Amino acid sequence: MKQWILLVLFLPHILFSEEKTLPLVLSVPKAGGHLVLKMLSLFPEPPECVWADHIVSHDMEELSLEDAKVSKVIIIRDLRDVFVSLVYWFDAQVAEGLVNRHLAAKRKGLRERIQHWRSCSFDEKLQIVLEDGAESFYYEGFMRENIEQACHLLKGEKTQVMRFEDLIGVQGGGSQEAQEECIRRFAEVFSQSLSEEEVKRVSDKTFGKTHASAFDRTFRKGQIGSWKEHYNEKNLLLFYMRYGRYQKLLGY
């Protein structure tokens, strides 16, 4: 699992000053954190930020999320799609032998957990990630903690909320107008002013694999509403029992 990362996107000549407070760009896991990094890397002057593709982790105590002086951008997504994306991501991590990079590698029984995962149907895997328990490759309660923290931060001072559904654009089932507005809002966070031509250029290249980028490595399909093709009745009921109130708080 990633630690907090200081990103100086494509600007290696800029030195980080301890006196400079950088905006935090945080996402609920599988909500589009890498999509945002790709978008920012396409800015004429890619900005500095502190980025993480999760909000809470056992090893992330050094930054204060409650600091009212720090600008924050929280990336959210329909949680039903988040959990579908998580299943496919775990599948890829298992297939590529990379799952030991996550917190599960610090616990006993990882090999057995991998073997069990490989034997499961998609419905069974989705149930595992929805239960967010011992069979997941994250520590127990990881997803719930992150979702709760995202809901808590929504109304914080100097906090902007960006939706995956607005960021993804036409090719992901959204709209160009909403995507371009998100790009402008990000530019404002970093005190940048982009021309309409620059906004359009960023928009045209943001969707996964339309423009080669290292940030495409986690991209699969990037579609809004793919959950409709993946949930059986049992898992949909489980989702609403565990996450229904968070879904509502996030505005879905």
Q: Are residues 126 and 32 both part of a single domain?
A: no
Structural domain containing residue 46 = 5-78+146-218
Calpha distance 159→155 (Å, rounded) = 7
Question: Do residue 155 and residue 66 come from a single domain?
Answer: yes
Distance CA 163, CA 172 (A): 13
Same domain, 66 and 150: yes
Contact between 172 and 223 (Cβ < 8 Å): yes
> Do 74 and 158 have their domain in common?
yes
Average pLDDT of the segment spanning 127-139: 93
pLDDT score of 171 more than 80: no
Q: Is the pLDDT assigned to residue 156 strictly greater than 90? A: no
To which residue do tokens 């998580």 refer? 86
Choose between 153 and 238: higher pLDDT: 238
Label residue 76 by pLDDT band (50, 70, 90): very high
Instruction: Write down how long the chain is.
Output: 252
The pair of structure tokens assigned to 107 is 């616990």
**Which residue, among 136, 79, 146, has the nearest Cα to 113 in the 3D structure?**
136
Same domain, yes or no, for 155 and 35? yes
On the question of pLDDT at 89 being above 50, the answer is yes
Q: Is residue 185 located within the same domain as residue 206?
A: yes
Q: What is the percent of the chain with per-residue pLDDT over 90, rounded to a whole number?
A: 32
Same domain, 87 and 73: no
Strands 24-27 and 72-76: parallel
The DSSP code for 141 is T
Predicted confidence at residue 121, as pLDDT, reads 98
Evaluate if residue 19 carries a pLDDT over 60: no
- Is 213 within 8 Å of 41 (Cβ atoms)? yes
**Mean pLDDT, range 212-231, rounded to an integer:** 68
Q: What total number of domains does the chain contain?
A: 2
Residues 240 and 126 in one domain: yes
Q: Which of helix, strand or coil describes residue 128? A: helix
Residue 15: pLDDT band with limits 50, 70, 90: very low
If we measure between CA atoms, which residue out of 165, 204, 205, 163 comes closest to residue 186?
A: 163
CA 181, 182, 187, 190: dihedral to nearest 10 degrees? 150
Question: Does residue 74 sit in the same domain as residue 155?
Answer: yes
Tell me, what's the pLDDT at 170? 72
Residue 204 has pLDDT above 50, yes or no: yes
Question: With bands split at pLDDT 50, 70 and 90, how would you rate the model's confidence at 102?
Answer: low
Whether residue 8 contacts residue 48, with contact meaning beta carbons closer than 8 Å, is answered with: yes
Contact 68, 227 (CB under 8 A): no
Give yes or no: residues 232 and 202 share one domain: no
Dump pLDDT digits (tens) for 33-44.
888 888 888 888
Query: Would you place residue 91 in the very low, low, confident or very high pLDDT band (cuts 50, 70, 90)?
Result: very high
Do residues 73 and 85 share a domain? no
Judgement on whether residues 51 and 164 belong to the same structural domain of the protein: yes
User: According to the model, what pLDDT value does residue 63 have?
Assistant: 55
Instruction: Judge whether residue 243 has pLDDT over 90.
Output: yes
